[in-house]
Structure 1
Amino acid sequence: MPISPSLRDDLARRLQESRAAALATVRARTGFDPEGMDPPAISPRAHLVQDDDAPTAETIAHDEERFAEHETNLLHEIDAAIGRLASGGYGMCASCGCKIPEQRLLATPTVRTCVPCQEAIEKEERTARGPTM
Structure 2
Amino acid sequence: MPISPSLHADIAKKLNESREAALATVRARTDSDSSGDEPPVISPRAHLVQNDDAPTAEMIAHDEEHFADHETALLHEIDAAIGRLEAGGYGICESCGCEIPEQRLLATPTVRTCVPCQERIEKEEGTGRGPTM
TM-score, structure 2 normalization: 0.93
Q: For 1:6-32, what per-residue CA distance to the aligned partner results, in whole angstroms no more than 9, with x for missing partners? A: 010011011000000000100110111
SS in 2 for 1:92: coil
Task: Specify the code of the residue in structure 1 equivalent to 2:114.
Answer: C
Q: Which residue is 1:50 aligned to?
A: 50
- Aligned mates of 2:3, 2:30 — CA distance in 1: 36
Task: Specify the code of the residue in structure 2 equivalent to 1:51.
Answer: N
Q: Which residue is 1:71 aligned to?
A: 71
| CA RMSD of superposed structures (Å) | 1.0
Deviation at 1:114, TM superposition (A): 0.4
- Aligned mates of 1:36, 1:87 — CA distance in 2: 41
Q: Which residue is 1:30 aligned to?
A: 30
Q: Which residue is 2:112 aligned to?
A: 112
Task: Establish whether residue 11 from structure 1 lines up as the match of residue 2 from structure 2.
Answer: no
Q: For 1:67-122, what per-residue CA distance to the aligned partner results, in whole angstroms no more than 9, with x for missing partners? A: 00000000000000000000000000011110000000011000000001101100
Q: Which residue is 1:88 aligned to?
A: 88
- Structure 1 vs Structure 2: percent identity of aligned residues? 80
- Aligned mates of 2:2, 2:115 — CA distance in 1: 16
Q: How many residues align?
A: 127
List runs of 5+ in structure 1 lacking aligned partners. Answer: 128-133
- Aligned mates of 1:114, 1:34 — CA distance in 2: 45
Deviation at 1:2, TM superposition (A): 2.5
Q: For 1:29-87, what per-residue CA distance to the aligned partner results, in whole angstroms no more than 9, with x for missing partners? A: 01111221111111000000101110100010000000000000000000000000000
Moved over 2 A (4+): none
Q: Which residue is 1:97 aligned to?
A: 97
Task: Specify the code of the residue in structure 2 equivalent to 1:16.
Answer: N
- Aligned mates of 1:98, 1:2 — CA distance in 2: 12
TM-score, structure 1 normalization: 0.93
Task: Specify the code of the residue in structure 2 equivalent to 1:80.
Answer: A
- Aligned mates of 1:33, 1:114 — CA distance in 2: 43
